[in-house]
Every structure is written in structure tokens, then in C-alpha cells.
A and B are shown apart, each in its own frame.
Chain A
Amino acid sequence: MRFRYLFLAAWTLSVALPANAELTSVAKDFLNQTKTFSATKVMASPTADGSYLMAMLFNQPNGSAGNLVAILKWTDEQGAQSRSLALSGSVPQGVVFPIRVAANSLVTVHTTGSVGTSYDLFVRGIGFWVPGSGSTSLSDYHTNLLLWSNATYPNKQTVLTAPAADKSYLFRVNINEPANTSTDSMCVDILSVDEYSRNQTQTGCASPNGAPAMMTFPLRVKGGTSVQLVTYHFTPPKWGGSPTYNLTVDVIGF
């Protein structure tokens, strides 16, 4: 009998424990594309009007002379909408933006332009549903440097290490200083390696007037490599004591 109560208690606990959110994941890869492609669904149509945060990341290998545009299309309560992302050269291009999707409508992506040797397009998204119920399969990572008063330069801190296979992430970075009278602006570099083994850097600098640097960007990270950060003084030398600053780096893995 005691076991029966124990079982009931455990079951109740499993039901009552607060799950965090009903965030759903959107992930669609277009790898090693050698031609442009026509409108292709990136997710199942929602059965109710839904809100999503979408990210597109566009990349091509060194030497590929592609000049391309990726276009995501959706339908919101007002009608058809679209967002474009252009790619030329060897610097990957990324964009993060919210969309509102009408029930039973399509979200598609297509590419136009001229292809070099090949290109990759990654579409990622988070669907927002009813807060406080359900659970999410999205993984997350956090690195906080709170109330720091020294640059980490030249030392780097690891934010995450990708699994064996290449993986897509969405980054949220905020660096700020309490308003102060110095002219010392603290910066952060987010350092990563993309799927073509090229080093990539995203930079943000806090302002001594109290204005934060607020960054959101997608990254494609080569399998087995680490994403690292380093903080430094905007005005050389990069190292040494600094005004107090706060750096928060949060990442969603898809």
C-alpha cells in the first residue's frame, strides 16, 4: 500500500512540476546547394495563428563567387510578407527576425541569383505558444561575466563546444557598463569556426554612458569546435583593469 501512495506521489509530482514553456523548434537545412531552388516549406503549417522568431544563415565556401538572395515568405493577419537575405563573398550572412504566421498558411524559402560552386542555407526558428505549459527540446547555454572589472584579453572563455556534427545556434549577447565618467568602452568578441573551417567574429561594445550593446545573430558552428569569448578595451591596450561591466551570453541550440 505504501508503494501505491509513493507511486501516486511521484505521478503527481511529475504532472505538477512546472515545465518551462511550450517553445517549438523549426530547423531546415539546405546544404551544398549547387542551384537556386524554388519555394520550399520550412515548417509544418500551424493549426492556429502563431508567433515565431526566425533566423536565416547564408554561407558559401572560399572561392565560391555566388551572388545570391534567400527569401523567406509567410502570411500574417494582414497578408503576404517576406524577408530577404543577400550573400556575396565569403563572409556568412545572418539575420534574426520575428514573423507572425496565419493558421494553415505556408512558410517557404527560395533562392535567386547566381551560384558559385555551392552554398548553404540554414533556417531556424522558435515557435511561441502557451507559456507555462509543455516542455522544449531546445538546448541552451549561458556564460555570464557579471560585475567584472578586468578585460579577459588575451584569455578566452569557452561558451560552448559543438557536438561532432556541425550545428546551428542562435546567440543573444548583451554587454553594458553602469553610466560612468570614463571614456573606457568595453568590447566583446564572440569567436567561432564555421562549417568551412573559417574563423568568424561578432563584436559588440558597451558605452560608458550606460547604453548596452545588444546583439542577436545565428551561427553555424563546425562540429567539435568551441565558441569562445574575449573581452577587451576598445581603446588600446586591450588588457587590464576596466570600469565595471556586465556581459551575458545566452545561446539556443537547435
Chain B
Amino acid sequence: MSRKFLALITLSCWLLTRSATASASLTEVRQDFLSQTATFAATDVMSAPAADGSYLISVYLDQPVGGTVGATIAWTDENGATQRYQALGGTAVFAVRLQAGTTLTVATSGTVKGSYNLFIDGVGFWN
């Protein structure tokens, strides 16, 4: 294999690497709470970002008829203020500004019928 050919492969590989990562400044948040039979206290759903961050967060809670479980998402915004969003018995989508070094938590409350699933998903936006 000639040096020129190897150099070409190396260059192609580098370019591929660049093109695969250059466009993406989206990160994913995903935390599943499957088959829960009891409510739970505030639990982290992601690791704390190193810088203030912008997120789009969705909550999806499915439970059998008769269940009244709701989820409360809490976080600290860039002003140091505690913010909360309550998704009572269903779904929610909302925008979050998260202070560096802090995280998003979720807690559930209400009456559990059988079991329930809770899915916290989101996208982090980075420059």
C-alpha cells in the first residue's frame, strides 16, 4: 500500500470524523422509570452540566385507569431560582434553563394502581 494511499485514507477518515460531529450540538436526556409500584422521592434524571444549559424536556407517564400518579420536575435556573413543573397524570413538554453544576430531578406522588411507567426525555442544546 503506497504512502499516498495511506495518507488519502487518513485524510478521508479525519474528514469523516469532522463531518460526523460538526453539525451536532444536541445532546440527549433519557431516563426511564419502568414498572414502578410506589411513588418515589426526588431523583436525578441526568448528570449536571458544566455550564448553564438549555433543554427541552418531555414527561410521559402511563398508568392503568384508577392511578393518580403525577410527576414533579424540579431544577435550578441560571438565576439560582428553584423552578418546578408538575405533570399531573399525563404528559408535558417544557423548556428548561439549568444552572451549571446542578441537575434536574423528578419525584412522583399520588395513588399507584398496579404499576406505572415514567419516561423523562429531552434534548440539550449547546453552541
What residues of chain A have their CB less than 8 Å away from a CB belonging to chain B?
Answer: 3-4, 6-7, 10-11, 13-14, 17, 19-23, 51, 53, 76-78, 96-100, 126, 128-132, 135-140, 142, 144, 146, 170, 172-174, 176-179, 210-212, 214-216, 246, 248, 250, 252
Looking at A77, A179, A215, which has the most chain B CB atoms within 10 Å of its CB? A77
Partner of B28, one of A3, A128, A212, A250: A128
Q: Is B38 interfacial (CB-CB < 8 Å)? A: no
A35 CB to closest chain B CB, in angstroms?
Answer: 31
19 A–B contacts, CB within 8 A, in A order:
A10-B14, A14-B17, A14-B20, A51-B30, A51-B58, A53-B93, A77-B62, A98-B119, A129-B28, A131-B28, A131-B30, A137-B23, A142-B25, A142-B127, A144-B54, A172-B125, A178-B79, A216-B93, A248-B125
The interface bits of chain B over 77-93 (1 if a CB of A lies within 8 angstroms of the residue's CB, else 0) are 11111010100000111
Q: Please tell me if the beta carbons of B81 and A19 are within 8 angstroms of each other in the complex.
A: no
How far is B26's CA from A19's CA once the two chains are assembled, in angstroms? 10
Q: Is B107 interfacial (CB-CB < 8 Å)? A: no
How far is B30's CA from A173's CA once the two chains are assembled, in angstroms? 21
Partner of B20, one of A19, A21, A22, A76: A19
Q: Which residues of B contact A100 (CB under 8 A)?
A: 60, 62, 117, 119
B126 CB to closest chain A CB, in angstroms?
Answer: 8
B3 CB to closest chain A CB, in angstroms?
Answer: 5
Q: Please tell me if the beta carbons of B97 and A136 are within 8 angstroms of each other in the complex.
A: no
Q: Which residues of A contact B58 (CB under 8 A)?
A: 51, 53, 97-98
B102 CB to closest chain A CB, in angstroms?
Answer: 15
What residues of chain B have their CB less than 8 Å away from a CB belonging to chain A?
Answer: 3, 6-7, 9-10, 13-14, 16-17, 20-21, 23-30, 32, 52, 54-56, 58-60, 62-64, 77-81, 83, 85, 91-97, 117, 119, 121, 123, 125-127
A175 CB to closest chain B CB, in angstroms?
Answer: 9
**Residue in A closest to B24 when the chains form the complex, CB atoms:** A20
How far is B23's CA from A211's CA once the two chains are assembled, in angstroms? 33
How far is B82's CA from A130's CA once the two chains are assembled, in angstroms? 29
Q: Please tell me if the beta carbons of A131 and B95 are within 8 angstroms of each other in the complex.
A: no
**Residue in A closest to B78 when the chains form the complex, CB atoms:** A246
Partner of B121, one of A98, A130, A142: A98
Q: Please tell me if the beta carbons of B56 and A216 are within 8 angstroms of each other in the complex.
A: yes
Q: Please tell me if the beta carbons of A3 and B3 are within 8 angstroms of each other in the complex.
A: yes
**Residue in B closest to A3 when the chains form the complex, CB atoms:** B6
A38 CB to closest chain B CB, in angstroms?
Answer: 26
Partner of B10, one of A3, A51, A176: A3
Partner of B97, one of A21, A174, A216: A174
Q: Please tell me if the beta carbons of A136 and B62 are within 8 angstroms of each other in the complex.
A: no
How far is B17's CA from A13's CA once the two chains are assembled, in angstroms? 8
Looking at B62, B77, B95, which has the most chain A CB atoms within 10 Å of its CB? B95
Q: Which residues of A contact B119 (CB under 8 A)?
A: 51, 98, 100
How far is B24's CA from A78's CA once the two chains are assembled, in angstroms? 34
A78-B64, A144-B54 given; name 20 further pairs at CB < 8 Å. Answer: A14-B17, A17-B20, A20-B24, A51-B119, A96-B93, A97-B58, A98-B91, A100-B60, A100-B117, A140-B24, A146-B78, A172-B54, A172-B95, A172-B125, A173-B95, A176-B81, A179-B79, A246-B78, A246-B97, A248-B97
Q: Which residues of A contact B30 (CB under 8 A)?
A: 51, 128-131
How far is B60's CA from A252's CA once the two chains are assembled, in angstroms? 20
Q: Please tell me if the beta carbons of A7 and B10 are within 8 angstroms of each other in the complex.
A: yes
Q: Please tell me if the beta carbons of A210 and B81 are within 8 angstroms of each other in the complex.
A: yes
